[in-house]
Amino acid sequence: MQHLHNTKELPLFAIPIMMRDAMSEILVLSTTDTLDLAQKIASALVQAHEAACVNIVPGIRSVYCWEGKECNDQEFLLLIKSSMESFEAIRARIRQLHSYQVPEIIALPITAGDPPYLAWLRDTVGVKGQRSKGLKE
């Protein structure tokens, strides 16, 4: 197995997360049963600078088992762009605002992306006082 000596020659997605910059970009997935709740969670996360952007995707169907019964429900999917450093705050805020007993809160690493977009994401969810005004997506 060849050892990595110069990670600058590799594309970003090929560099293990622990070898990248201190901030790791993530995509958090969550679902809600109403558009109002989805918008409430999205606004709270963006206003608190815990998320750079939240997309609300209507019209998804979730099939799952809950309390021994199969459920088949219409839901709204939240795609939350943020950083691993903000994950615990996001998780706590979703649990605080959500109507579900056990809401979906799953974080996936963003392994590659357009550099200006990722810079904007980092800047938007960065440390208070170190943010510039974000660009509209």
Question: Range of 61's domain?
Answer: 22-124
The mean pLDDT value for 104-115 works out to 95
> Residue 130: pLDDT band by 50, 70, 90 thresholds?
very low
What is the spatial distance between Cα 35 and Cα 10, in angstroms, rounded to a whole number? 41
Long-range pairs, 67-71, Cβ under 8 A, ≥24: none
**What's the domain count of the chain?**
1
> Residue 11: pLDDT band by 50, 70, 90 thresholds?
low
pLDDT in tens, 32-50: 999 999 999 999 999 999 9
Whether residue 105 lies inside any domain: the answer is yes
CATH number of 35's domain: 3.30.70.120
List the one residue out of 98, 104, 135 whose CA is nearest residue 27: 104
Predicted model pTM: 0.78
Counting residues of the chain whose pLDDT is more than 70, the rounded percentage is 75
Amino acid 1 reads M
